[in-house]
Amino acid sequence: MPSSGIDRTLAFLILCLIVLGSLFVYSSTYYQAMKNGASSAYYLIGHLKRLVVAIGFFFLGLFVPIEKMRKLVFPALILLLFMLFMTLIAGRVQFGARRSLLIASFGLQISEFARIWAVFFLANFFANHPQVANSGRGLATTVLIVLGVILLVAVQPSISVATITFLTLISMLIYGGARFRLLLPTILVGAGLFGIFVLVFPHAQHRILSFVNHPTYQVEQSLIAIGSGGVWGRGLGAGLQKFLFLPRIYNDFIFAHIAEEFGFIGSMIIFVFYGELFLRGLAIARFVESEFLGLLVFGLNASVFIIFLIHVGVSIGLLPATGIPMPFISYGGWSLSANLFAMGIILQASRWRVL
C-alpha cells in the first residue's frame, strides 16, 4: 500500500544541509563583509533572503501535484525555449555571459531549471513509450529535443550547467535501460559539442588549458585550504583563505572552506550527508508505485548528486574550474532554488512508496 507520509530521513538531511550552509556562508564571508564596510552578517542576510525564495520553490515542488506538473511538460518546453532565447538576446551580462533575464529588475536564471524540465520530459517520455529505450529513431528524437535545450544553455555560455544537464540525461538513459549501441552515439555527440564549445569560447578554453598545464589561482588556493585543514581543521571561523585569498570562497569553493575549518573529519561528514541523501533518493525511486515517478525521482536525485561531485572535483583539482555551487550549502542563488524545488518533488513522490 502507498505510504501516507514523506520520507522524514530525507527531509531531515535537507534541513541539516541548509542549516550548515548558513553557518558556512557566515563563517566564510564575515571578514569580506567588514572589509567592504558592511555588517559582518551582510552576506548571511543576503543568503537568507535567497533561501526564502528557494524554500518557496521547495514548497511548490512538495505541494503542487506531480501529475499536474507532468501535464505541463510540453507547454513548459515552449516557455523554456522562449525564455532561453530571450536570455541570449536581452539577458543581463555577468562575467562575460548572458545567463539571467531581467524581469522588473529581478534577474531570473532560467538555465538552472532546464535540467528539471529535462528530467520531467525524459521520465514522461520513457514512461509513456517504454519501447523507446531500445528504438534508435525514438531515442534519437527524444535525445535531440533535450540536446537542443542543452545547446541553448551552453551558448549563453553556461557550459557547466549544460554539462550537468547532459550528464543527467546520460544517467537517465542508463537507468531507463537504453542499450549501449544507442547510448554510445549520444555520448559521442555530447563530447563533440563540448569540444566545439571549448574551442569557440575563450574562457572555457582557458579553463581546460589551465587544468591540463597548471591549476588556476583559485584551484591552487583551494588546495592550500584543504591541505592546511589537516584531520580536524583549524576550527570554526579560524580559516585563513576567507581573508580574500580565495575569491568566491562562499560559493564556488565552499568545500575548500569546510575542509580548512573542519578538516578531513568535517569533509567526510559532508560526504556522508550527501551520500545518504543520494541513497534515500535511490530507495524512493525504487519503491514508488509508477515507472514515471521512479524515473523522475532518479533523474532529479542524480542531478543534485552530480552537482555535488563536480563541486568537490573542482575544489580538489580533479576537474577544470566551473563555478558550480555546492547544493544547499553555497551562497544562495537560482541553483539553490532549483535544487530545493527538485527535493520538494522527490519528497512529494516519497508519499507514493509501496510499502
1 lies in some domain: no
Q: Is the pLDDT at 204 greater than 60, yes or no? A: yes
pLDDT in tens, 172-198: 988 877 777 778 888 888 888 888 877
Whether residue 2 lies inside any domain: the answer is: no
What pLDDT, on a 0 to 100 scale, did the predictor assign at position 180? Answer: 78
Q: What percent of the chain has pLDDT over 90?
A: 55
Residue 1 has a pLDDT of 47
Beta bridge partners of 288: 353
* Domain-located, residue 184: yes
Q: Is residue 331 part of a domain?
A: yes
Q: Is residue 332 assigned to a domain? A: yes
Residue 173: its pLDDT value, please? 87
- Which of 124-133, 172-181, 238-247, 257-266 has maximum average pLDDT? 257-266
DSSP letters for 36-58: TTS-TTHHHHHHHHHHHHHHHHH
Is residue 321 scored above 70 in pLDDT?
A: yes
C-alpha to C-alpha distances, 321 to 98, 211, 328, nearest whole angstrom: 19, 8, 20
CB 102 within 8 A of CB 92: yes
Supply the pLDDT for residue 175: 86
Q: At what angle do helices 136-154 and 159-175 cross, to 10 degrees?
A: 160
Residue 354 C-beta-side C-alpha neighbours within 13 Å: 9
Is the residue at 141 inside a domain? yes
Answer whether residue 315 is part of any domain.
Answer: yes
Position with higher pLDDT, 307 vs 88: 307
What's the pLDDT score for residue 103?
62
Q: How confident is the model at residue 15 (pLDDT cuts 50, 70, 90)?
A: very high
Residues 26-32, mean pLDDT to the nearest whole number: 94
Q: For residue 295, what are the domain limits?
A: 8-350
Mean pLDDT of 34-58: 94
Percentage, residues of the chain above pLDDT 70: 93
Q: What is the pLDDT of residues 152-179, one digit of tens each?
A: 888 877 888 889 999 999 999 888 777 7
Burial 39-70 (b: 16+ CB within 10 A, else e): eebbbbebbeebbeebeebbeebbeeebeebb
Domain count, the chain: 1
Residue 50 in domain = yes
Q: What is the maximal distance between C-alpha atoms in the chain?
A: 61
Q: How far apart are CA 178 and CA 37, in angstroms?
A: 56
| Rounded-to-integer distance, Cα 161 and Cα 99, Å | 10
